[in-house]
Amino acid sequence: MRQHALMAIAQVTEPDSAVYYTDGSVDPDSRRTGAAAITRGTELCEGTSNHCFTLQTELVAIQLALEHAHYRQEPTVMLHTDSRAGLQALQQPHPKDNVGLITTILGILQSIAAQGRQVNLLTQPPRELLVALR
């Protein structure tokens, strides 16, 4: 419900944008992992290899959103994530970990940019806003 409320807000503030929210998670007890992205009524979900680290699941969620956005027509893609570590990993000039995943994401970003479109990677709104939406 929180994600849907945020999506509604984003659609009002960014009407000509494809807006995505991403999340990756690891269950600490079972170590089962997964990644998801949502956008305007579409939920994209993918199980990841069990025993992945949280950063990997967060990057997979970003990849899911960008793969979907690649085929959209909006001039701007707004991708919201709660993974600061994921955004930092994408800014590394020579990543040592998750190289294949990071390279794939950067390739998708370049492909979207080659279409003359813009991608904004943002951290999700502050916790105070999320609490207010509940």
Predicted pLDDT of residue 92 = 92
More confidently predicted of 107 and 6: 107
What domains can be seen in the chain, in order of their start residue?
A: 2-133 (3.30.420.10)
Predicted pLDDT of residue 75 = 95
DSSP string spanning the chain? Answer: -HHHHHHHHHHHH-TTEEEEEEEEEE-TTT--EEEEEEETTEEEEEE--TT--HHHHHHHHHHHHHHHHTT---SEEEEEES-HHHHHHHH-SS-SSSHHHHHHHHHHHHHHHHTT-EEEEEEPPPHHHHHHH-
Question: Can you give the pTM of this predicted structure?
Answer: 0.83
Model confidence band, residue 50 (pLDDT cutoffs 50, 70, 90): confident
More confidently predicted of 113 and 134: 113
Predicted pLDDT of residue 8 = 57
For residue 2, pLDDT over 50 is answered with yes
88-132 pLDDT, tens per residue? 999 999 999 999 999 999 999 999 999 999 999 988 654 544 444
Closest C-alpha to 35, from 17, 54, 16: 54
Model confidence band, residue 6 (pLDDT cutoffs 50, 70, 90): low
For residue 48, pLDDT over 60 is answered with yes
CB–CB of 53/26 below 8 Å?
Answer: yes
7-42 pLDDT, tens per residue? 555 554 567 889 999 999 888 888 889 999 999 889
CB–CB of 112/53 below 8 Å?
Answer: no
